[in-house]
Chains A and B, each alone.
Chain A
Amino acid sequence: MIPAIEQEVGTTTVESRPQPAATGRAGPRIEPSRLRRKADLLVALSLADMRARYGRDPLRFLKWMLDSMALVAVYLVLRTIILDRGGPAPGLSLACAVVPFHLMMMTVFNSMMTVRERQAIVLNVGFDRILLPASSACTEAIAFAGSLLLLFALMAIYLVGPTLAILWLPVVMLVTVTFTVSCAYPASLFGIWFPEWQNIARSLVRMLFFLAPGIISLNEIPAGAQDWVKLNPLTGIFEAFRDVLLYGDSPAAWELLYPLGFALALFVIFLPIYRREERHLAKVI
């Protein structure tokens, strides 16, 4: 059995199989076997990361739910007692922001450490390092799927019945995960380039929650500030979750398209930089 490794990085050529004869077709071809290998590797890296970070307890999905629940509880106290703000189903409204934010935050934190935490394999084996940040996002996406239970539990507690708008939920989740994966690459580069600045970066990431309608919904924010808050791509994601789960409406187009466009911009800027830098990762760790 010969592994299907065929890669060309800079001036290195590594081949494990004879190159197929030229067919005369121009442009790169996506070979199913290479895609399968990448998918296998991504799953293996994600499962290993999940076990390393979250253990092997079959009840760990409860922990993921409790993580988000604890955050919701803290902000619920802040909102209802300290700030004396009511509003419809405040716990559910908060959870619609906390659950996707938790995914983004944990992915960024995990990605900043991903190369160093995997130094054992990075230093020993040649493989496609572009998968490392993606696998960090996948690990947290599994936790994210577990914490969705919290949203449904809160819908039941607040007696908010699902409407047809809930059919948008997979789309909203897909946008959220895409945005999160796009954040993983700059976060990973930041962790490699500025390891001593990681604590400040963590604080800045947490600040993004408060620069979006996290504690209160967008329509509760003063009109003059709403346009500024909309610049934060998390705003669209938080509001899309509220539309689908709390208000029973379809999400507005901008709520999905703006985070998607933001994600695309991050991919366009940071994927090529990561591609260039990944060749040097083993020197840094």
Chain B
Amino acid sequence: MAGSVANSVVADRVGVRFWFDSHRRVTTPGRARLAFHPQTTWGLQDVSFGLGGGEGLALVGPSGSGKTTLLRVLGGVLAPDAGELSVRGSVGSLLSIDAGLTPTLTGRENAVLLAVLAGLSRSEAREALPEIEAEAALGEAFERPASSYSQGMRARLALAAAEQSRPGILLLDEVHEALDHEFRLRLVAHAEAILAAGGIVVAAGHDHEILSRLCNRAVWLEEGRVKADGAFREARDAYLKAHAAPAPG
């Protein structure tokens, strides 16, 4: 079930700004105010689009174009510094390379924490543990610290925990590219079920084959701005054409 509310995403001229301190490290605006000459740059600017139930959106673009930043804004990890964003629906996210797992905690402990973070109560999270354990299929590694996991194992556990909250909106940031063939199929099936139930999938990455299976639409981001927004194949082809290496000679 993809939620009892109509899932939707509406971004209207969304912008995300980064501040730098005198050491040229990214900092917060409060700290930047204490610096003599704070520098700023926009990671996202004037990003507008709308998504309704049943839509899958691929974010394509070169590294540093703002795909991850946009996914983080959609997931509530970052707040926009300009524009307006409305996200309706429960969000499940796999956004970071470690898939949200704390390295020193075991798979079981991470599963409880992730499930509570996803919106379950602690008792619901504990009740869901056998299902998470079975879905993640980590075997004995479930009782070992996540620091001993491969990237794919982390993604499997995080996905199994995220599934427990029955998200209506699924956000994926290249994490799916670390999964083995079997779990890729499962992820695709899971995403298709969300879409079929009126949910939304937003995925970023460079594996366009898997993106094409999940998404009917694509937004091409370039230097934090929307360069194209349309049917997946058209937007993807436009992006690839713009970034194609010049023919030798």
Chain A interfacial positions (CB closer than 8 Å to B): 1-5, 7, 9-18, 36-37, 40-41, 43-45, 48, 51-52, 118, 120-127, 189, 192-194, 196, 273, 276-277, 279-284
Q: In whole angstroms, what is the CA distance A120 to B91 when docked?
A: 17
Which 10 pairs show the lowest CB-CB distances between chains A and B? A3-B119, A126-B76, A124-B100, A279-B79, A44-B116, A193-B31, A16-B90, A123-B96, A52-B104, A280-B28
Are A282 and B3 in contact, CB atoms less than 8 angstroms apart?
A: no
Q: In whole angstroms, what is the CA distance A2 to B168 when docked?
A: 9
Of B79, B99, B165, the residue contacting A124 (CB under 8 A) is B99
The 8 A CB mask of B70-113 against A (1 = contact, 0 = none) is 00110111111111111111110111101111111100010011
Are A127 and B117 in contact, CB atoms less than 8 angstroms apart?
A: yes
* B148 contacts partner chain A, Cβ-Cβ < 8 Å: no
Q: With A17-B4, A276-B30 as given contacts, are A123 and B90 in contact (CB-CB < 8 Å)?
A: no
Are A277 and B94 in contact, CB atoms less than 8 angstroms apart?
A: no
Are B78 and A125 in contact, CB atoms less than 8 angstroms apart?
A: no
Are A193 and B27 in contact, CB atoms less than 8 angstroms apart?
A: yes
Q: In whole angstroms, what is the CA distance A126 to B90 when docked?
A: 11
Of A9, A17, A124, A283, the residue contacting B18 (CB under 8 A) is A283
Q: In whole angstroms, what is the CA distance A37 to B91 when docked?
A: 16
Are A279 and B119 in contact, CB atoms less than 8 angstroms apart?
A: no
Whole-angstrom distance between the Cβ of B216 and the nearest chain A Cβ: 24
- Which residues in chain B, 31-56, are within 8 Å of chain A measured between CB atoms? 31, 34
Residues of A within 8 A of B117 (CB): 41, 44, 121, 125, 127
Of B25, B34, B73, B101, the residue contacting A120 (CB under 8 A) is B101
Number of A-B contacts (CB under 8 A): 177
The stretch that binds A, out of B120-128, B178-186, B204-212, B229-237, is B120-128
Q: In whole angstroms, what is the CA distance A123 to B82 when docked?
A: 20
Q: In whole angstroms, what is the CA distance A40 to B120 when docked?
A: 9
Residues of B within 8 A of A277 (CB): 28-31
Are A16 and B34 in contact, CB atoms less than 8 angstroms apart?
A: no
Whole-angstrom distance between the Cβ of B28 and the nearest chain A Cβ: 4
The 8 A CB mask of B142-161 against A (1 = contact, 0 = none) is 00000000000000001000
Residues of A within 8 A of B79 (CB): 9-12, 279-280
* B58 contacts partner chain A, Cβ-Cβ < 8 Å: no
Are A283 and B26 in contact, CB atoms less than 8 angstroms apart?
A: yes
Q: In whole angstroms, what is the CA distance A154 to B36 when docked?
A: 53
Residues of A within 8 A of B141 (CB): none
Of A15, A45, A51, the residue contacting B104 (CB under 8 A) is A51
Are B113 and A121 in contact, CB atoms less than 8 angstroms apart?
A: yes
Residues of B within 8 A of A194 (CB): 31
Across the interface, name the chain A residue whose C-beta is closest to B175.
Answer: A124
* B190 contacts partner chain A, Cβ-Cβ < 8 Å: no
- Chain B: residues with Cβ within 8 Å of the partner, total of 63
Of B3, B88, B105, the residue contacting A48 (CB under 8 A) is B105
Are A12 and B95 in contact, CB atoms less than 8 angstroms apart?
A: no
Residues of B within 8 A of A43 (CB): 122
Q: In whole angstroms, what is the CA distance A68 to B103 when docked?
A: 28
Q: In whole angstroms, what is the CA distance A18 to B4 when docked?
A: 8
Q: In whole angstroms, what is the CA distance A126 to B96 when docked?
A: 12
Are A1 and B124 in contact, CB atoms less than 8 angstroms apart?
A: yes
Q: In whole angstroms, what is the CA distance A164 to B23 when docked?
A: 57
Across the interface, name the chain A residue whose C-beta is closest to B112.
Answer: A44
Residues of A within 8 A of B109 (CB): 48, 51
Of B29, B98, B103, B165, the residue contacting A1 (CB under 8 A) is B165
Whole-angstrom distance between the Cβ of A93 and the nearest chain B Cβ: 37
Q: In whole angstroms, what is the CA distance A4 to B120 when docked?
A: 8
Of A12, A52, A122, the residue contacting B105 (CB under 8 A) is A52
Across the interface, name the chain A residue whose C-beta is closest to B21.
Answer: A193
Whole-angstrom distance between the Cβ of A57 and the nearest chain B Cβ: 14
Are A282 and B119 in contact, CB atoms less than 8 angstroms apart?
A: no
Are A48 and B102 in contact, CB atoms less than 8 angstroms apart?
A: yes
Of A3, A36, A37, A283, the residue contacting B90 (CB under 8 A) is A3
Are A282 and B90 in contact, CB atoms less than 8 angstroms apart?
A: no
Residues of B within 8 A of A1 (CB): 119-120, 124, 164-166
Across the interface, name the chain A residue whose C-beta is closest to B115.
Answer: A44
* B5 contacts partner chain A, Cβ-Cβ < 8 Å: yes
Q: In whole angstroms, what is the CA distance A4 to B117 when docked?
A: 11
